[in-house]
Every structure is written in C-alpha cells, then in structure tokens.
C-alpha cells in the first residue's frame, strides 16, 4: 500500500465508480472528493455504490468551478485525509473520475517504488515557458480576478485590461517563485505533507486563492520549496488544443493510447466503452519498467493542429472558406497559366504534355466551354465543361480543379478571347505562375488569311483585353510569379523560355528539350502588322516585329548549347 489516490469527481458517477474499483483492486486507498454542486441524492447513491470497498474515503465537499480555488481546496482536503488515514502511503496521485489507468496499476506502483524520492509534477516558470493561451501567464500571479471567466467573460476581460492600464500589481509572497504546469500530479508523502503543514500555508493559501487558475500553479509552485527531487512531467497523459481545452479520447484512439505507454490518460469520453473495457492493460513484466512515451500522441495531435491551421490550403468546403483577401494561396498547388504560347506553337498542348507529363489543359476559360486536358465533358471530381456553370463562380471552378488533381501539376492556356473574370484571382494567387507572350493573339488572326481591314476591330478588342490583363498583372497587389514578354522578345529566343517553363513545371525531372515544337509560319507577319498600323490600329503589345526576327522559325539558342533544336 504505497500509492494513494485522490480522486476529484463531479459527473459520470458510473465511470467514477469503475475507476475507484480499478484503483482499489490494486490495493490503492482512494479518497474521493465530490463537487458540492452535485445533488445529495446522487452523492449518496455514489457513496453507497462503493460502500463495499474498505479503503475508500469521502472527504468534505467544496464547490469546484473551473479556474477557481475550489479545486485546490478539494485536493488539500482529500490529501489531508489520505495522509492521516493511510500512514503507509508513500506517493499520492491526483486523478479525476475521467482519468483512466492505461497500464496495469501494479506497473505504476513498481515504477514509483523505484523512485521513492521523486515528485512527478509538471512545473515551469512563467518567465521561461510561453504555454498559456490567451496571454495571461505572468499576469495570473500579479492581477486580481474577481469575475468568473466562464460566466462574465466581458467583465473579466475588461477588469484585466483596466488593471493593465493602471499598472496594478499584486505582491507575490516572499520566498516563492511562481511555477505552472499540468494540474495532474503525483507527489511523495514527504513533499505533500510539507506543503500542507507549511507554517506559511495561510499566507500562501490567501495569495493563491486570488490567482487565476490556481490548480495549475499552487502545488507546482510550492513543490519547489519542499521537494527533494522534481521530475517536471505529469504521469497523466492529457492533451490540450490551442485554446487550452482538453482533447477527449474516444474509442478510435485506443491504439494511440496503447502506444503512448502512459500510466494514466484523460479525458476519456464517458461512453467510450471499448476504451473502458480494454484498459488498464494486464501487467506486462517485460515492459514494466518502460518509460511513458507520449511522442506518438503528441505527433498525432500536433499534426491535426497543423493540418487545421496550415494544411489544406486551397480547400473550400462546408466548414472552411478562407476569404481570398486574407490569404496568399488561393489554389491548393502550384499551376501554370500560359498566355499566347499556343498561338505561337499550334501543337503546343500535346508537346508540353509529352515534355512534362503534367496535366496540360486547353483554354479552360474559353467562351464556348472549358477545354480540359483530356477534352472530356466531365473532368475529375465531376467538374462540368459547361461555360455557364464555370463562369457562375470561376474562382471555385479553378480551386476545385486544382484541389482535386493536386497530385499533378496543372497548366492551362489563357488568352484575351477567354472569359476574363478570373484575372484577379490568378494574379493574386502565389501558386500561379503566369507566362504571357503579349500580342500573340495576332498570329491566329494573321493565319486566318483575312485582310487587316476585316479583322481590325477584332484585333483592337483583343489588344484592349490583353492590355487590361497586363495592367492587373503589373499591379502591386499581384502576387503570382509573372513573366511577361512581347511576341518580338519571345521569338528572339523561344527555346530559353520554353526550357524555363518546363523546368518549372517538371521540377528536377525536367530534362533538356529533346523535341522542339513547330512554330507557326510567321512569314508575312510584319507586313500584316504594318497593315494594321496603316488602318490606324497599332498593335503595340507585339513589340517590334521585323522581317529579320520572323525569318528563323527554328531559331537556335546560343546561350544553352545543350539544347538540341534540330528536327
């Protein structure tokens, strides 16, 4: 009988009874504290239910409200009874009705016997550890908190603020240095006795009575005064989310709990029958000395937190709808927007697919329909090619497409003949990589064989639209990776640009270009453009196209000699 248990209970009495029996079966005396808010009838029934157990005591009841002194008073009361009634107890373990022993209690007793002088209590100074949520760490000890946080949140916050403005500070009693940590501890008889019998206890109690959440700091601070050896960790596995609320363990956590090798875990969901049946595990002589290892649990929970706060970018769904103005990533994965390239190279799409293995779409935002990579009516995820449906909410069309195919790199063609509503979304998305060969729209017009006077109006319209798009891309709000070049610049050295695009899309897998796409025949383009100018329509976005730079449809790159550009 070396381990005694203090159990705080306020609800789920059937489970609490079960827990009392677990401890009692391992010959641990249990002192139970029941919240005084619990009706007497319930309390009496609970007492009767464990009346057959000899070493179970009930102590005087206090009102236990979260974050208040009552919880400390309750544990003091129970600890006093435990130490007086059970002189053999060497370690006292603070538990609640929702704390479930995971490993055999005999293992825990053995573990504590091996370290008879050690206090297991998580205890860190507030100055060093920024654990707390909501900004109150040091101030827990120096301000006053007359208003209940749960019931009068506003008043609480207001009063804290007032004290901060006035610069009010309470005096911390001499000799103590505030520490904080998990409220679930396991202390030696010697330490616990010293805390309870301390000549200054009245001073300390009076001070901590007005501290915010004293159950996380009272024992944690005072242990430091009396201990022979502190292990600053809790033997109770308890996880908190970033709001400081405890995570609850359900049946599906069984394997995780088992792997944690912790002695006790909380909070266990009261209807998690499977957990209550499975634990505590039978004593395992081989693993009895094994240290608890909550690493796996930590990882799972912190992964979940990370996934929640950082992960799943680009997903828009029922419970996640980040506003476009507050984020830089719109889509889930990087993608490329290519404007004008498919005009210069008529076979650009199949060529790029061969080179990179990416999903190369046609004009996704074409006026007639969305031209998906596989030219289907319904693309992955059930995305329809219907233009009306797409334009009803173009941004969601794009994010759906990328989210659903985020295992692959997506590229799509864009141009001034397409629906332009998506412009700002593209420009603001850091995942977008936008390549524009400006003025390339003149090539299909030129190839159509119609005269400059026929297509003058159309050329002017396309130029106006493209110019507007370029203005968007050049605005200070644009966050995408943007490369803009005129048609004239591009046809000077197209292979360099293509190589860069391919490297970017395919990453390290991008090889030197083996095959060069066939450029449209540009012979006569300068004359055509001059004709347009003569009509009064200056195609300024194309750059200076001369006979000289259109003469070599298969230009050879000089700067990158490894490029093989013969065909």
Partner 1 sequence: MPKTGLWHAYRLRWKRRRFLFRIWRKRKELSLSTDRTAQISPDAILAFSTVRNEIVRLPHFLAYYRKLGINHFLFVDNGSDDGTAAFLAEQPDVSLWTTTHSYRLSRFGMDWLGWLQWQYGNKHWCLTVDADELLTYPECENRDLRALTSWLDERGEASFGALLLELYPKGPLQSATYVPGDDPTKTLGWFDPDNYRNQVHPYYHNLWIQGGVRERVFFANEPARAPTLNKTPLVRWSWRYVYVSSTHQILPTRLHDVFDLEGDSKVSGALLHTKFLPIVGAKSAEELTRGQHFQNTALYQDYHRRLTENPDLWHEGSCRYEGPAQLVELGLMSKGRWV
Residues within the interface to partner 1 (CB under 8 A): 241, 243, 245, 247-248, 250-252, 269, 271, 274, 300-301, 304-305, 308-309, 312-313, 315-323, 326-327, 376, 378-384, 386, 388-389, 392-393, 396-397, 400, 403-404
Which residue, 150, 268, 294, 166, is CA-closest to 212?
150
Residue 266: phi and psi, rounded to 5, are -150, 160
Is the separation of the CB atoms in 46 and 35 below 8 Å?
Answer: no
174 vs 407, beta carbon nearer partner 1 = 407
Please report how close the Cβ of residue 320 comes to partner 1 at its closest, in angstroms. Answer: 4
Please report how close the Cβ of residue 476 comes to partner 1 at its closest, in angstroms. Answer: 23
Please report how close the Cβ of residue 60 comes to partner 1 at its closest, in angstroms. Answer: 28
Please report how close the Cβ of residue 277 comes to partner 1 at its closest, in angstroms. Answer: 14
Please report how close the Cβ of residue 226 comes to partner 1 at its closest, in angstroms. Answer: 36
Please report how close the Cβ of residue 21 comes to partner 1 at its closest, in angstroms. Answer: 24
Tokens of 159: 């009063």
204 vs 412, beta carbon nearer partner 1 = 412
Q: Which residues contact 447 (CB under 8 A, 6 or more apart)?
A: 520, 521
Identify each DSSP E strand in 487-533 by its residue range. Answer: none
Please report how close the Cβ of residue 275 comes to partner 1 at its closest, in angstroms. Answer: 10
Which residue, 434, 424, 437, 428, is CA-closest to 468?
424
Which residue, 82, 118, 73, is CA-closest to 5?
82
119 vs 429, beta carbon nearer partner 1 = 429
Tokens of 379: 């693309």
Q: Which residues are registered as beta bridge partners of 438?
A: 486
Is the separation of the CB atoms in 314 and 329 below 8 Å?
Answer: yes
Give me the count of residues in the chain. 567
393 vs 500, beta carbon nearer partner 1 = 393
Can you spell out the DSSP letters for 140-172? GGTS---S-TTT-HHHHHHHHHHHHHHT--PPP
Is the separation of the CB atoms in 439 and 542 below 8 Å?
Answer: yes
Locate tokens 């060969």: which residue?
Answer: 437
Is the separation of the CB atoms in 263 and 107 below 8 Å?
Answer: yes
Please report how close the Cβ of residue 401 comes to partner 1 at its closest, in angstroms. Answer: 9
274 vs 523, beta carbon nearer partner 1 = 274
The CA–CA distances, whole Å, from 38 to 184, 205, 213 equal: 22, 25, 21
395 vs 481, beta carbon nearer partner 1 = 395
Residue 393: phi and psi, rounded to 5, are -155, 80
194 vs 387, beta carbon nearer partner 1 = 387
67 vs 526, beta carbon nearer partner 1 = 67
275 vs 525, beta carbon nearer partner 1 = 275
Tokens of 291: 């240290």
Please report how close the Cβ of residue 239 comes to partner 1 at its closest, in angstroms. Answer: 8
Phi-psi region of 2 (alpha: psi -120 to 50; beta: other; left: phi over 0): alpha
Can you spell out the DSSP letters for 341-359? HHHHSTTHHHHHHHHH-SE
Please report how close the Cβ of residue 426 comes to partner 1 at its closest, in angstroms. Answer: 18
58 vs 301, beta carbon nearer partner 1 = 301
């Amino acid at each position: 009988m070396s381990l005694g248990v203090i159990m705080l209970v306020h609800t789920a009495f059937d489970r609490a009874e079960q827990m009392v029996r677990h401890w009692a079966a391992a010959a641990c005396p249990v002192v139970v504290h029941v919240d005084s808010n619990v009706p007497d009838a319930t309390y009496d029934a609970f007492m009767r239910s464990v009346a057959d157990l000899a070493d179970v005591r009930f102590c005087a009841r206090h009102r236990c409200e979260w974050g208040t002194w009552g919880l400390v008073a309750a544990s003091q009361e129970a600890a006093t009874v435990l130490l007086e009634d059970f002189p053999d107890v060497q370690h006292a373990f603070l538990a609640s009705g929702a704390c479930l022993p995971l490993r055999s209690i005999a293992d825990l007793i053995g573990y504590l016997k091996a370290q008879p002088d050690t206090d297991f209590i998580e205890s860190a100074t507030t100055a060093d550890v920024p654990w707390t949520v909501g900004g109150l760490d040091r101030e827990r000890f120096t301000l006053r908190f007359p208003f209940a946080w749960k019931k009068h949140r506003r008043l609480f916050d207001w009063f804290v603020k007032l004290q901060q403005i006035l610069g009010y500070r309470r005096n911390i009693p001499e000799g103590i240095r505030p520490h904080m940590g998990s409220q679930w501890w396991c202390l030696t008889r010697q330490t616990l006795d010293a805390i309870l019998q301390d000549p200054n206890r009245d001073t300390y109690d009076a001070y901590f009575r007005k501290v915010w959440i004293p159950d996380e700091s009272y024992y944690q601070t005072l242990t430091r005064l009396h201990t022979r050896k502190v292990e600053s960790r809790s033997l109770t596995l308890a996880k908190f989310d970033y709001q400081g609320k405890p995570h609850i363990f359900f049946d599906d956590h069984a394997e995780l709990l088992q792997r944690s090798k912790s002695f006790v875990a909380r909070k266990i969901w009261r209807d998690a029958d499977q957990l209550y049946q499975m634990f505590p595990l039978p004593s395992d002589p081989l693993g009895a000395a094994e240290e608890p290892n909550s690493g796996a649990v930590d990882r799972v929970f912190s992964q979940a937190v990370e996934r929640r706060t950082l992960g799943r970018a680009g997903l828009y769904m029922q419970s996640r709808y980040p506003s476009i103005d507050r984020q830089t990533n719109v889509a889930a994965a990087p993608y490329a927007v290519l404007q004008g390239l498919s005009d210069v190279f008529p076979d650009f799409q199949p060529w790029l697919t061969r080179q990179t293995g990416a999903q190369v779409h046609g004009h996704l935002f074409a006026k007639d329909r969305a031209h998906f990579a596989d030219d289907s009516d319904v693309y992955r995820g059930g995305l329809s090619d219907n233009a009306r449906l797409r334009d009803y909410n173009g941004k969601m069309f794009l994010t759906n497409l990328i989210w659903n195919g985020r295992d692959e790199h997506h590229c799509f063609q864009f141009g001034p003949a397409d629906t332009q509503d998506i412009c700002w979304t593209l420009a603001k998305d850091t995942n977008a990589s936008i390549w524009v060969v400006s003025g390339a729209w003149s090539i299909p017009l030129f190839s159509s064989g119609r005269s400059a006077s026929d297509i003058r109006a159309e050329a002017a319209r396309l130029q106006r639209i493209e110019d507007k798009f370029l203005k968007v891309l050049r605005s200070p709000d644009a966050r995408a990776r943007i490369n803009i070049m005129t048609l004239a610049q591009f046809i000077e050295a197209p292979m360099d640009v293509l190589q860069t695009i391919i490297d970017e899309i395919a990453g390290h897998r991008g090889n030197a270009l083996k095959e060069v796409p066939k450029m449209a025949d540009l012979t006569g383009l300068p004359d055509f453009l001059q004709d347009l100018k003569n009509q009064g329509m200056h195609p300024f976005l194309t750059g200076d196209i001369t006979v000289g730079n259109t003469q070599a449809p298969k230009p050879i790159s000089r700067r990158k000699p490894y490029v093989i550009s013969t065909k």
